[in-house]
A and B are shown apart, each in its own frame.
Chain A
Amino acid sequence: AAGVIQSPRHLIKEKRETATLKCYPIPRHDTVYWYQQGPGQDPQFLISFYEKMQSDKGSIPDRFSAQQFSDYHSELNMSSLELGDSALYFCASSLGGGSTYEQYFGPGTRLTVT
């Protein structure tokens, strides 16, 4: 069965650079969630989209922005990167704006900021 695809899997950037993370949800899933997991931490919710509209916002820095496109894939744009942004970034997909139990996670993008 098709799963959530994230690219790239690994990314190394320097401070003050920008990064773009991509997420391709499971086919037919119209809802995307982004989470950030710091070293030894639990995943923290950043932002979500349902039918291309932002549906919820968590502890996402103003330096980050995201959007969902017409094919339901989503991109997380991160600017002015800081050392503290080094983390594993997960995308999860669901159906119906979170109205079902399903929330399947992608393998994550490991971002290292040096």
Chain B
Amino acid sequence: GEDVEQSLFLSVREGDSSVINCTYTDSSSTYLYWYKQEPGAGLQLLTYIFSNMDMKQDQRLTVLLNKKDKHLSLRIADTQTGDSAIYFCAERNNQGGKLIFGQGTELSVKP
């Protein structure tokens, strides 16, 4: 079945790196995503990774994918207070493209 798991909370100090982890179960997923949601706001697509990649870097964001362990991580370098939000990991169902989301990780950045 499809299931995506994330830890619920992460607290870091401004300037440190944040690492948010996610595990998924559908090994046939071709795309995996990270979305950011600020309080009361919509879902902002941060980055995605194709399943044949191990790593993708986009400015301060680094995504690592371990297909064998079905583990995805998002590293945010030089974390800022503006990065405080809930981060959702999602896998894409290959039939029709619906997204299956994790529970979300609430990132709190302390000055």
Contacts and interface: CB of A to CB of B under 8 A. Distances in A.
Contacts of A97: 96-97
A110 B97 CA distance: 24
Nearest to A108: B42
Interface stretch (A12-20, A68-76, A77-85, A98-106): A98-106
Given A42-B88, A106-B42, A101 B48 contact: yes
B22 to A, nearest CB: 12
B99 A103 contact: yes
A43 B43 contact: yes
B45 interface: yes
Interface stretch (B13-21, B68-76, B101-109): B101-109
Interface size class of A (residues with CB under 8 A): 20 to 34
Contacts of A94: 97
Nearest to B35: A105
B9 interface: no
Given A99-B97, A110-B40, 16 more contacts: A33-B97, A42-B101, A42-B104, A43-B88, A45-B98, A56-B95, A90-B42, A92-B99, A97-B96, A97-B97, A101-B31, A101-B92, A103-B33, A103-B99, A105-B42, A105-B44
The 10 closest A-B pairs by CB, nearest first: A98-B97, A56-B96, A42-B101, A105-B43, A107-B42, A45-B98, A55-B96, A101-B31, A108-B42, A43-B101
